[in-house]
Amino acid sequence: MLRRLAALASPVQTGPADLVALDAYFASHSSLTLVHIIPALAFVMLAPLIYMQRFAGASWPERLLFPLGGVVGLTAYAMSTHAVGGWIERSAVFFFNTLFLYALGRAFWYGRLGERFLQLKWLTRAIGILLGIATTRPIMGGFFATSPITHLRPGQFFGLAFWLGFTINTLIVEWWVRSPRGQSQLKRIAAPSAYAARD
């Protein structure tokens, strides 16, 4: 996100042709890109707070996360209309972004019902899915690094990188929230006073 903000402020003019073209591409949609990545950056920076003991009784991190997540999700659909990786990337964005918004909506609903554990469980799913975009970056880096051998261009590998990155994150977070350890940790975060009394 920080790299993209820097590139929007000062697009790369020299260097590998693919990177120069990529920066120019995002610069041509700078307003939409900014409306997407600034809330996403805020979301990612706030997300760890909901797992920290010192913020256990605070509701303000979640009150900010839900609208920020909504903006990120809606703008992701809009950005996919300009997808570098064409329909393969668009299909990944549509599928995983819909999963993200569904998980976020379920978390919001359980929060309204006062079901803190279920809210945290679904919010964890949403955060894990959203962070799939970070997992795509090293995958893309591998594609860029091997492009002199494979001759693949960004338009050819972006879609695959999106599918791989988001799938990895979605499967890992789903495994974790269903695991006994994950369940135990989420319950401890959801009801810290009960565990403090027990300890």
Residue 186 lies in a domain: yes
Q: Is residue 127 part of a domain?
A: yes
Comparing 183 with 192, the larger pLDDT belongs to: 183
Tens of pLDDT, residue by residue over 157-176, are 999 999 999 999 999 999 99
pTM tops 0.75, yes or no: yes
Q: How many domains does the chain have?
A: 1
Does residue 198 form part of some domain? no
Q: Which domain holds residue 151?
A: 2-192
- Render pLDDT for 103-131 as a digit per residue (tens, 0 to 9): 999 999 999 999 999 999 999 999 999 99
Q: Determine the Cα–Cα distance for residues 153 and 155; give it in Å rounded to an integer.
A: 5
13 contacts 20 by C-beta, under 8 angstroms: yes
| 199: in domain | no
Question: What are the C-alpha distances in Å from 134 to residues 48, 53, 108, 186, 197?
Answer: 15, 26, 24, 23, 38
- Confirm whether 46 is domain-assigned: yes
User: Hey, what's the torsion of the CAs at 157, 160, 161, 167, to 10 degrees?
Assistant: 180
Evaluate if residue 181 carries a pLDDT over 90: yes
Residue 5 CA, distance from chain mean position: 17
pLDDT digits (tens, 9 = 90+) for 43-81: 999 999 999 888 877 788 989 999 999 999 999 999 888
